[in-house]
A and B are shown apart, each in its own frame.
Chain A
Amino acid sequence: MNYPESYFYTKEHEWVSVSGEIATIGITDHAQHELGDIVYVDLPKAGSHVDKGRTFGSVESVKAVSDIYSPVTGEVVEANEMLADKPQELNADPHETAWLIKVKLEGDNDLSGLMNAADYSAYAGAEG
Chain B
Amino acid sequence: MPVQYSGLVDEHHTVRKAVGLFDVSHMGEIEIRGREALRATSFITTNNTAGLKDGQVHYSGLLYDHGGFVDDILVHRVSATDFFLCVNAGNQEKDFEHIRAAVASFDCEAEYASPKYAQIAIQGPLALATAQPLTETLLAPIRYYWFVDGTFAGVPARIARTGYTGEDGFEIYVAPENAASVWAAIMASGAPHGIKPCGLGARNTLRLEAAMALYGHEIGASISPLEAGLNWIVKFDKGDFIGRDALLRQRETGLTRKLAGFEMKGRGIGRDGYEVHIEGAPVGWVTSGSPSPTQNRNIGLCYVPSDRAAVGQKIEVIVRNQPVEAELVPTPFYKRPQ
A residues in contact (CB < 8 Å) with B: 36-37, 39-40, 58, 60-63, 65
From B298, which residue of chain A is reached at the shortest CB distance?
A39
Report whether B291 and A39 are in contact in the complex, using a CB–CB cutoff of 8 Å.
Answer: yes
Contact between chains at A36 and B8 (CB < 8 Å) = yes
Binary contact track B270-293/A, C-beta < 8 Å → 1, others 0 = 010000000000000000001101
Residues of A within 8 A of B269 (CB): 39-40, 60, 65
Q: How far is the CA of A117 from the CA of B9 in the complex (A)?
A: 30
Name the residue on B nearest A64 (C-beta): B271
Contacts of A61 in B (CB 8 A): 8
Contact yes or no, B320 A37, CB < 8 A = no
Interface size class of B (residues with CB under 8 A): 10 to 19
Q: A62-B293, A63-B3, A63-B290 are in contact. Are A37 and B8 (CB under 8 A)?
A: yes
Whether B7 sits at the interface, judged by CB under 8 Å, is yes
User: Which B residues are closer than 8 A to A by beta carbons?
Assistant: 3-4, 7-9, 201, 204-205, 267-269, 271, 290-291, 293, 320
Where chain B touches its partner, the secondary structure class is loop
A residues near B271, Cβ cutoff 8 Å: 65
Nearest Cβ on chain B to A59's Cβ, whole angstroms:
12
10 closest Cβ pairs, A-B complex: A37-B9, A63-B201, A36-B8, A62-B291, A62-B8, A39-B291, A63-B8, A36-B4, A36-B7, A62-B9
Query: Which A residues are CB-close (under 8 A) to B205?
Result: 62-63
Q: What would be 6 A-B contacts, judged by CB atoms less than 8 Å apart?
A: A36-B9, A40-B269, A58-B320, A62-B8, A63-B290, A65-B320
Apart from A62-B205, A62-B290, 10 more pairs, CB < 8 Å: A36-B7, A37-B7, A37-B9, A39-B291, A40-B267, A58-B320, A61-B8, A62-B293, A63-B201, A63-B204
Residue of A nearest to B10 (CB): A37
Task: For A67, give the chain B residue with the smallest CB separation.
Answer: B320
Report the Cα distance A105→B205, complex, angstroms. 41
**A36 CA / B201 CA spacing, docked (Å):** 10
Chain A residues with Cβ below 8 Å from B291 are 39, 62
* Pairwise interchain contact B268-A40, C-beta atoms closer than 8 A: yes
User: Which residues from A are CB-within-8-Å of B320?
Assistant: 58, 65
- What's the minimum C-beta distance from B293 to chain A, rounded to whole angstroms? 7
Measured in the bound complex, the distance between the Cα atoms of B271 and A68 in whole Å is: 18
Complexed CA–CA distance, A37 and B201 (Å): 11
Of A36, A60, A61, A62, most buried by chain B (CB within 10 Å of CB) is A62
Instruction: For A65, list chain B residues within 8 Å (CB).
Output: 269, 271, 320
Contacts of B267 in A (CB 8 A): 40
Give chain A nearest CB distance to B204 CB in angstroms. Answer: 8
**C-alpha gap A51/B267 in the complex (Å):** 26
Q: How far is the CB of A19 from chain B (nearest CB, A)?
A: 32
User: Which B residues are in CB contact (< 8 Å) with A58?
Assistant: 320
